[in-house]
Amino acid sequence: MAKKEHIVRYSVKDLASKGERGETRSDWARAAAMTEEEIESDIASDPNGAGMVVDWDTVSVKLPEAKADLHMRIDRDVLDFFRRTGRGYQTRINAVLRSYVEKARRG
C-alpha cells in the first residue's frame, strides 16, 4: 500500500503572502502576552530540549552544512541513552561530537 503524501511546499514569497493575510497557525497574540516566566516554563517542558543547557553568551548563528551519511558501531548503552531522550537523538549525538571537536581544536 502506497504511503499518502501530505507534504505541501511553499516558496518564501508564498509564505510572506500568507503571513500578510493572517493565514498562520501561530498564535502571535498569545505569544506576545506571555510573561518571561511562562516562556521559560514552556521551554523547560519541551521534550526536544530536555537536558540541554545553552549558554547564550557564546551562541552564534550559522547556516548548517550538509550532513554526511555515516554508518558506525557504537556501544549499545550509549545509543540507548540517546534514544531514550526521544526524537532528535541523532542531532543530539552530533551536538555532543561537535562540542568535543570544538573544544579539542581550542586546545
Q: Specify whether the backbone of 68 is left (phi greater than 0), alpha (psi in -120 to 50) or beta.
A: beta
Joined together, the cell numbers standing for residue 12 give: 518564501
> Other CB atoms closer than 10 Å to residue 92's CB: what's the count?
19
Which class for 82: exposed (0-12), middle (13-18), buried (19 or more C-beta within 10 A)?
Answer: middle
Q: How far is CA 106 from CA 58, 94, 99, in A?
A: 14, 18, 11
pLDDT at 1 > cutoff 70: no
Q: How do residues 14-28 score in pLDDT, each as one tens digit?
A: 988 988 888 887 887
Query: What band does 2 get if pLDDT is binned at 50, 70 and 90?
Result: low
Domain boundaries defined on the chain:
12-106
Q: What is the pTM of this model?
A: 0.41
Q: How do residues 28-58 score in pLDDT, each as one tens digit?
A: 788 899 999 998 888 888 888 777 777 878 8
The whole-angstrom separation of Cα 14 and Cα 63 is 22
Query: What band does 107 get if pLDDT is binned at 50, 70 and 90?
Result: confident
